[in-house]
Structure 1
Amino acid sequence: METQAAAAGDFRLYRAGDIALQSGRTFKDMFIAYKTYGSLNADKSNVILYPTSFSAQHYDIEFMVREGGALDPSKYFIIIPNLFGNGLSSSPSNTSWPNVGTRYPNVSYFDAVHVQKKMLLELWGVERVQLVYGWSMGGMQAYHWGALFPDAVERIAVVCGTAKCSPHNRVFIEGVKHSLMADAAYQDGVFTHYPARGVRAMGRVYAGWALSQTVYRDEMWRSPAYGSLEDYLVLYWETTFARRDPSDLLAQMWTWQKGDISDNTTYGGNLSQALSSIRAKTLLMPGAQDLYFRVEDNRREMEHLKNAALKPIPSVWGHRAGNPAGLTEERDFIEENVKELLLA
């Protein structure tokens, strides 16, 4: 079932109904907020799925959709499904009692991609996807598509993402998560009021990980908007996460930390088997100086992939290199390689 989102007007809601989650919980009345670009062709062979990243909504990533670019709406039917927990799709902030607070049924990537697949079939009759493209948590979803639906996806482009959240990555998220939870507003697993101090602390912790040391050493963050490092931390990083409900942020961090394409009954935790089962043409594009999705993680995954290319993004912008808003060279590099993948 599909409904129009009255408030925003530029996206629609797919009502998936009651979904049995991987955890054994049932998510009542689950829904995906999505936006489409371009037109579906007659044989339904031009679909690109572009899932969102941590805390992002489709507004934040749709700049990559443009004529002449890799995600060209004049050629492809591009669908951005908002990931659960981002405040538009089913999230703690829009889920009703009794599934609130500590009773919220956390959603895995496994759950997310299965509902996405259900949506494609029910709304458009699409059984096979030309490409799943994603950055960060979006890239992890692309990896899950490749492993869980090997016959349903032609290509995956994983930008600054991995098949499994690494131990070091989990530790990074622990620091971010606990800076938010340390606020006095967080009591017994729920926020009793808005955690302003925790959100500010979270933004500052995140700032040290999302960009490389080079960016800070050479003051590459400077712009007319940011006259000092303090300006940058306050006006960019604190503001970035202040846009979102804190419970939503924690829910997506749960999804992120649990990310593992082999954590299911199909693969039983055997990551190498899950990787070797991917038949999609695979493009791995880690950031050369990403501090938490490391090039080495992708290099080790490559040992088990059958049809893959590893092309690190030559950039000092760390994790941000994979989301190249305002980064011309990084965007050109990503789009050139994705275009090549689409022709393969």
Structure 2
Amino acid sequence: MKKIFSIVLLLCLVKSAFAQQKFYQIGDYPLENGQVLKDCKIGYRTFGKLNGDKSNAVLVPTWFTGTSQQKSFVANPSDIADSTKYFVIVVDALGNGVSSSPSNSISQKDKLFPTISIRDMVNTEYKLVKESLKINHLYAVTGISMGGMQSFQWMVSYPDFVDKIVPIIGSPKQSSYDKLYWNLQLNIIERGQYANETMKTVYALHQLNLWTPSFREENTQSDDYANYIKKIEEDALKLNPYDWAIQLKAMINHDIFQGKKPEEIATKVKAKVMIVVATQDHMVNPQAAIRFGKLLKAPIVELTGNCGHMATSCEGDKMRAHIKGFLD
């Protein structure tokens, strides 16, 4: 029996790794700022089976510059959105290079691509679920980092559409520290006129805040710095500065409150919420998420190690145990 279970588990993992990339062609899409995103398409992958009453659908939006292929692991039986229980929809957020993005647009390429928002990402995800997949209600939404920001936005954009929401190391609104950090990256790209070489500096800065100083000190010897920075710069040249910048702008302007008091917005949230934060996060400040979580009287899971924004990897077992318990 144990051998059979192991084989079934292996087959599930293999299926997750090779799920087909799919697209929903929305067409010309009006953005919230009044601009039009031409020939809008949304990429996604699905895992598991939708049950008879369509009540087991879980939406997982991607992190900053991440893709549904990279995020497919969440559907593994051992992970938070177990595809043996749920119908998992991992969706490529606008601007990630798979869904409509500056790098793949035909008529709005590179600088011609319109400015998008986190709300635009969520609105197109809603259209995918409602219009293409014909699902009228989601059991859960959960995402990491920018996926966590989208999860917060789902709470207020479609409060009656989701039962449970778990933002992971995301924020309902950027702090002044977050804006300083994200704008610094954006300024480097813009002042460098979107040259690929600028991504060497941007990506090094990104890596600087992805982890904590103590983690880097423990894991990278000073004598090995030359090899460390060489690898960062090699990886940076694989990144598209236009895609990077368009998602940066979306995060910089992210704010679910829109001038209203958090207390007022909290009363509009109908989903059951669990919030995961990393207390030593240098990438997305956790305080706004903690404050809003307290207003919602939501359970707050704190990842306290020195991995910073990457705490979801270093403390994955702790995080998964809490989330799986909440969802189940």
* Partner SS, residue 311 of structure 1: strand
Q: Note if 1:304 corresponds to 2:295.
A: yes
Report the CA distance shift for 1:238/1:47 in structure 2 as closer, same or farther (over 3 A). Answer: farther
The aligned counterpart of 1:210 is 210
Whether 1:142 aligns to 2:144 is no
1:259 aligns with 2:249: no
1:155 aligns with 2:146: no
**Aligned equivalents of 1:227 and 1:33: distance in 2?**
43
Offset from partner CA, 1:22-50 (integer Å, 9 cap, x none): 00112121110111111111111111111
State whether structure 2 residue 182 is matched by structure 1 residue 173: yes
The size of the alignment, in residue pairs, is 311
Match of 1:280 among 271, 282, 286: 271
Gaps of 5+ in 2: 1-17
8 A Cα contact 1:85 1:248, kept in partner: yes
Contact 1:290–1:318, Cα closer than 8 Å, also in 2 = yes
Displacement of 1:273 in angstroms is 2.0
Query: Aligned residue for 1:231?
Result: 227
Distance 2:257 2:116 in 1: 16
Separation in structure 2 between the aligned mates of residue 301 and residue 137 of structure 1, nearest angstrom = 17
Match of 2:311 in 1: 321
Work out the CA distance in 2 between the residues paired with 1:36 and 1:239.
32
| CA contact 2:141–2:165 (8 Å) conserved in 1 | yes
Rounded to whole Å, the distance in 1 between the matches of 2:36 and 2:215 is 44
Counterpart contact for 2:197–2:237, Cα < 8 Å: no
Please tell me whether the aligned partners of residues 102 and 111 of structure 2 are also in contact (alpha carbons under 8 angstroms). no
Aligned partner letter, 2:187: H
| Cα displacement string for residues 71-95 of structure 1 (whole angstroms, at most 9, x for unaligned residues) | 1111111111101111100001111
Question: In 1, distance between residues paired with 2:163 and 2:34?
Answer: 30
User: Percent of pairs identical after alignment?
Assistant: 26
Describe the SS at the equivalent of 2:306.
coil
AA matched with 1:291: H
Separation in structure 1 between the aligned mates of residue 293 and residue 118 of structure 2, nearest angstrom = 21
Taking a change above 3 Å as real, the CA distance of residues 238 and 276 of structure 1, as seen in their structure-2 partners, is farther
Alignment of 1:55-74 (within 5 A): 55-74=65-84
Structure with higher helix content:
2
Instruction: Quote how far apart the aligned CAs of 1:239 are.
Output: 4.3
Give 1:4's aligned residue.
none
CA, structure 1 residues 18+309, in 2 after alignment: closer, same or farther (shift >3 Å)?
same
**Helix, strand or coil at the partner of 1:92:** coil
Structure 1 partner of 2:28:
18
How far did 1:221 drift? 4.8
Match 2:280 to one of 289, 297, 303: 289
The two structures, once aligned, show a CA RMSD in angstroms of 2.0
Which one-letter code corresponds to 1:334 in the other structure? M
Shift of 1:9: 8.4
Secondary structure class of the residue paired with 2:184:
helix
Secondary structure of the residue that 1:243 maps to in structure 2?
coil
Cα distance change of structure 1 residues 73 and 211 upon mapping to structure 2, 3 Å threshold? same
| CA apart distance, 1:231 | 2.1
**Partners of 2:118 and 2:150 within 8 A in 1:** yes
- Would the aligned equivalents of 1:181 and 1:198 in 2 still touch at CA under 8 Å? no
- For 1:90, what is the secondary structure of its paired residue? coil
Structure 1 gaps of 5+ residues are 1-7
| Per-residue deviation, residues 166-207 of structure 1 (Å, max 9, x unmatched) | 221010011222223343xx1xxxx4xxx2421111111112
Q: Which moved more, 1:78-87 or 1:196-205?
A: 196-205
What is the match of residue 3 of structure 1? none
Given that 1:286 and 1:293 are in contact with CA atoms closer than 8 Å, whether structure 2 keeps it comes out as no
Aligned residue in 1 for 2:199? 199
Moved more, 55-64 or 87-96: 55-64
Q: Per-residue deviation at 1:281? A: 1.3
